[in-house]
Amino acid sequence: MNQELPILVVEDDPNLREAVCDTLMLAGKAVVSAPGGHEALAILSGRAVSLVVSDVRMMPMDGITLLKEIRTHWPHLPVVLMTAYADVDRAVEAMRAGACDFLLKPFEPPALLAHVEKYKLPEAEDDAGVVAFDAASRNLFSMAARVAQTDATVLLTGESGVGKEVVARYIHQHSARRNGPFVAINCAAIPDTLLEATLFGYEKGAFTGAQQAQAGKFEQAQDGTLLLDEVTEMPLSLQAKLLRVLQEREVERVGGKKPVALNIRIVATSNRDMAEAVQRGVFREDLYYRLNVFPLLIPALRQRPDDIVPLARHFLAALGSTVGRAGMVLSPAAEAALRAHPWPGNVRELENVIQRAMILAPGEVVEPVHLHLAAAPTQALAPVEPARGEPQKADSIRDLEREHILETLAAVGGSRKLAIERLGISERTLRYKLKQYKDEGFFHE
């Protein structure tokens, strides 16, 4: 069992502050307290907490001002405000500033505990493989657990490799649909000509090669969750059809005439700035608002440093059987090196680094030299050169493809337009491939 993060109680009345703290501690909660907003901010700057319970009427910094500061610096941190019936106007202002909940004075201990239980954080590492030790990620999963109890459409954004699918699966597994299917489709990985049939399905004879009817991803996710990964990569022509499906909650197969009613939960992801994509005209505004019902921004790994070493240890254990190196550990120096690395490729890069280190380490202990962190490429679109003494030959068709694409790109001076012409592939395919290679550490843009 992991140690529970404390609840921060902020109250300028010493008697009420003591009563609230005593109630929480008698219920087995860890508690820290502050007599005012400035002291609370000082505490938050130095340690992680699971929840802030604050009075509204305080001097010199009131609870609304404290709330706005928390929303600026710790946007995922839940805040419950204690307020009196007379403070209705302040409560409205607090709602606009991002308060999670209100506790009306006077209140009995059970009411306080009931509010606190709603914001209970998940364990730092749960049975779904979620690793969340940093306060930022634990607050993120707390929000995910709450939205999981509804059927609201969720939009997950963040840099490539931060773990958007992990969060999507967590939402599914903590929802009432957990016993239904979880179906994922990467909208960037499927050619435009096949994406519509893959999503919506098709009837026999709908197009050349359609020798039998096939249910699409929407139908396959019936009574469960559908993950639309990298939804901003979907062509505009298909976005209109997706919007209709989301509005009508029914899908019509390609070549079909009978709509199929849907009972699914939608989770969409993107590593792009979706508002910018809308402004540039590459993503429909009405579809953006249809998907952006409950947005969750997943912090980059460098923004949740307390997750780095626990994640590395998790990958050591999870990959042990895969590479035949069970029981390996990180040296203190290796852990320090991991913490110091900026992780431009986020969690995916960390997993790759750990897998490589497990192969290179001769013994049971991974040292900094085995991590090869300094070997991360720094030149844009520059192919990785094999280390001296390492085999030059590609290990697989995928490696050959990567070498061919990167060599072609380098030969045309990094021009994607010229590379597309030489390679005979679409711009969308090239963009997807380059994103893959970047995530795997083969070049850096």
pLDDT digits 0-9 by tens, 194-234:
888 899 988 887 677 777 778 889 999 999 999 999 999 99
- CA-to-CA separations, 443 to 204, 344, 354, 383, 440, in angstroms, rounded: 43, 11, 18, 6, 8
Domains along the chain? Answer: 7-117 (3.40.50.2300), 135-297 (3.40.50.300), 302-375 (1.10.8.60), 377-445 (1.10.10.60)
Whether residue 268 is predicted with pLDDT greater than 80 in this model: the reply is yes
Give the confidence band of 1 by pLDDT, cuts at 50, 70, 90.
very low
Give the confidence band of 284 by pLDDT, cuts at 50, 70, 90.
very high
Q: What pLDDT is stored for residue 409 in this prediction? A: 84
Q: What pLDDT is stored for residue 381 in this prediction? A: 37
Mean predicted lDDT score pLDDT of the chain? 83
Q: How many whole angstroms separate alpha carbon 42 and alpha carbon 204?
A: 66
Q: Kindly state the average pLDDT of the residues 279-294.
A: 93
Q: Kindly state the average pLDDT of the residues 391-411.
A: 66
Indicate if the alpha-carbon torsion angle 428, 430, 436, 438 is positive or negative. negative
Q: How many CB atoms lie within 10 A of CB 260?
A: 16
Whether residue 428 is predicted with pLDDT greater than 80 in this model: the reply is no
Whether residue 353 is predicted with pLDDT greater than 60 in this model: the reply is yes
* Contact in structure between 69 and 77 (CB atoms under 8 Å): no
Where are the strands (E) in 56-132, listed by range? 79-84, 101-105
* Residue of higher predicted confidence among 426 and 69: 69
Whether residue 385 is predicted with pLDDT greater than 60 in this model: the reply is no
Q: What pLDDT is stored for residue 174 in this prediction? A: 87
pTM over 0.75: no
* Contact in structure between 77 and 135 (CB atoms under 8 Å): yes
Q: What pLDDT is stored for residue 384 in this prediction? A: 40
* Residue of higher predicted confidence among 217 and 71: 217
Give the confidence band of 390 by pLDDT, cuts at 50, 70, 90.
very low
Q: How many whole angstroms separate alpha carbon 300 and alpha carbon 330?
A: 23
Q: What pLDDT is stored for residue 123 in this prediction? A: 56
Of 241-245, 385-389, 408-412, the least confident: 385-389
* Residue of higher predicted confidence among 23 and 143: 23
Of 197-201, 206-210, 260-264, 286-290, the least confident: 206-210
What pairs with residue 84 in β-bridges? 105
Q: Kindly state the average pLDDT of the residues 328-357.
A: 92
* Residue of higher predicted confidence among 246 and 132: 246
Give the confidence band of 375 by pLDDT, cuts at 50, 70, 90.
very low
Q: For residue range 12-56, what is the model confidence (pLDDT) as tens digits?
A: 999 999 999 999 999 999 999 999 999 999 998 877 788 899 998
Q: What pLDDT is stored for residue 99 in this prediction? A: 64
Give the confidence band of 365 by pLDDT, cuts at 50, 70, 90.
very high
30: left (phi over 0), alpha (psi -120 to 50) or beta: beta
Q: How many CB atoms lie within 10 A of CB 131?
A: 20
Whether residue 146 is predicted with pLDDT greater than 60 in this model: the reply is yes
